[in-house]
Structure 1
Amino acid sequence: MKAPGYGIIALLTVAASFCHGQCIVSQDQQQRIVTICQSYVPPNGLLINRPDRQQAKTQTVFLGSEYLTYPVWQDGTLEFDGQTRSIACRLAFNLMTNQILCQFPGDSVVREIWPDAFTINAMPFVSQIDRQGKRSYFQVVYNGKTRLLAHYSCRFRREEREPYSPELLFSGRYEQRQRFFIQRDDRSLQRVTLSRKSLLQVLPDQSGKLPGYLTKSKLDLQELVDALAYYDGFH
């Protein structure tokens, strides 16, 4: 099931709002991540995934992917409270549904799993449970006395063609989002952006050292990590 100009990397069965069928996450000739979905449309226009002589196969291409990594499946480990050993597993992290999908070595079954922590492609994640009991996962970007966590999410946006405009290359796009949080002494998470002002608002510093250390108004991620390491050095 290979579409011209695309290399098939991961075959996934999905039941999303836009189709029922099989989707492939791949790269196009310009090295963009794309999701290619194939479905079958019967005469009444309803989408189903069982072909027969009365159905026409359609292909829809979306820019991006709802999964954290590319390729979708990556080596990883699972961790559960009360267990001393991590469990090796091939993992896929769906950012739209917050699902961790696992395929154990030698097993063809894909399982949905809810670990307390996991790693995927050498990226460590921990879970946080909110007041409603909902579990979310955060990447541990920096793990000192002060922790920097990153939360990933994804939304789907359908593209609409304007009258008399050229044909759309993509029928929609997945837009991934990353937000950062700081946690001190296992307390609640505090949102922080990549800016001097935001960091100083989140971190109390009676010594006055941190404001002098931060000379730029805008920070990149490494500069934020370096600032936290500096802050941990005198707190």
Structure 2
Amino acid sequence: MNRYCLLLVWLSVLQVVSYGQCVVSLDSQKRVITICQAYKEPTGLLINRTDRQQGLSQTVYLGSEYLTYPVWQPGSLKVVGSEKFIPCGIAYNLLINQIMCQFPGDSVSHVVSPEAFTVNDMHFVSRLNKNGDRTYYRVLYAGKTRLLAQYKCSLRQISNEPYTLEQSFDGTYLRQKSFYIQSDNEFLRPVKLSRKSLLDVLDAPLTRLPNSLPKNKLTVNELVSALTYYDGFR
């Protein structure tokens, strides 16, 4: 009963999502694109002109500011003070670090700030930053040592010239991914996908890493395997 009371209180302070005129879809080449439409007033000094009308402006971006496509995916979330995950549809906006949730049977979407959440097979945890906001990290490996990934997104605008065969988008959403290692629930330490960076972060002798570990660049799976091997010595 307490869990449901906690959920009701938590829902009462949620923001209702107001959708803009943007649609995320696939184009004819199976690329994820975002099409936004907005009404723009024409320039002019006479506010009460009878011929003053709004014009429809459209912009097309390559990619999306959301983690997944389709934007909405099955997931769950855990609020502060609860140990159980609550099922809901999840849409994670990487551009503004915003999580939207739609509960079963509810036609309204809400902006939420959960302590942790899942979307498909991905599990995310959070840490409070100095402003009291939550930063979310995907858990890639959860042993004695944890490997976390932070996803971000930025929009690179392109010149607003008329479309050409070479220039067919108004901008591109760019994804950024950063990796962190955490030991014993301490602070996060950034790590790059290289053996040298891993050794520097772990401050461990080479003998605590597998002999098969590449000398230069690593894949995420190789980094996870190395941490699994390393945890065997702890």
Unaligned runs of 5+ in 1: 1-11, 15-21, 46-51
TM-score between both structures, scaled by the size of structure 1: 0.83
1:171 corresponds to: 170
Runs of at least 4 residues of structure 1 off by over 4 A? none
Q: Which amino acid aligns with 2:199?
A: L
- Could you say if the C-alpha distance between residues 115 and 161 of structure 1 is closer, same or farther in structure 2, counting changes exceeding 3 Å? closer
Q: CA deviation at 1:105?
A: 1.0
2:48 corresponds to: none
Kindly indicate whether residue 195 of structure 2 is the aligned counterpart of residue 196 of structure 1. yes
1:93 corresponds to: 92
1:120 corresponds to: 119
Q: Would you tell me which structure has more strand in proportion to its own residues? A: 1
Return the alpha-carbon distance in structure 1 between the equivalents of residues 86 and 135 of structure 2: 20
2:54 corresponds to: 55
Alignment partner for residue 13 of structure 1, among 4, 19, 26?
Answer: 19
2:132 corresponds to: 133
Q: CA deviation at 1:57?
A: 2.1
Residue correspondences, number? 211
Which range moves more in the overlay, 198-207 or 115-124? Answer: 198-207
Which structure's relative contact order is higher, taking Cα pairs within 8 Å and 6+ residues apart?
2
Return the alpha-carbon distance in structure 2 between the equivalents of residues 168 and 158 of structure 1: 12
1:5 corresponds to: none
Kindly indicate whether residue 69 of structure 2 is the aligned counterpart of residue 70 of structure 1. yes
2:78 corresponds to: 79
- Could you say if the C-alpha distance between residues 209 and 83 of structure 1 is closer, same or farther in structure 2, counting changes exceeding 3 Å? closer
Please list the CA deviations of residues 196-231 of structure 1 after superposition, one character each: whole Å capped at 9, or x if unmatched. Answer: 111000012247332745333111111111001010
Q: CA deviation at 1:43?
A: 1.9
Return the alpha-carbon distance in structure 1 between the equivalents of residues 85 and 208 of structure 2: 40
Return the alpha-carbon distance in structure 1 between the equivalents of residues 214 and 172 of structure 2: 37
Q: CA deviation at 1:44?
A: 2.2
- Could you say if the C-alpha distance between residues 89 and 116 of structure 1 is closer, same or farther in structure 2, counting changes exceeding 3 Å? same
Identity of aligned residues (%): 54
User: Aligned-residue CA RMSD in angstroms?
Assistant: 2.4
Unaligned runs of 5+ in 2: 1-17, 45-50
Please list the CA deviations of residues 59-79 of structure 1 after superposition, one character each: whole Å capped at 9, or x if unmatched. Answer: 211011111111000111011
Secondary structure class of the residue paired with 1:183: strand
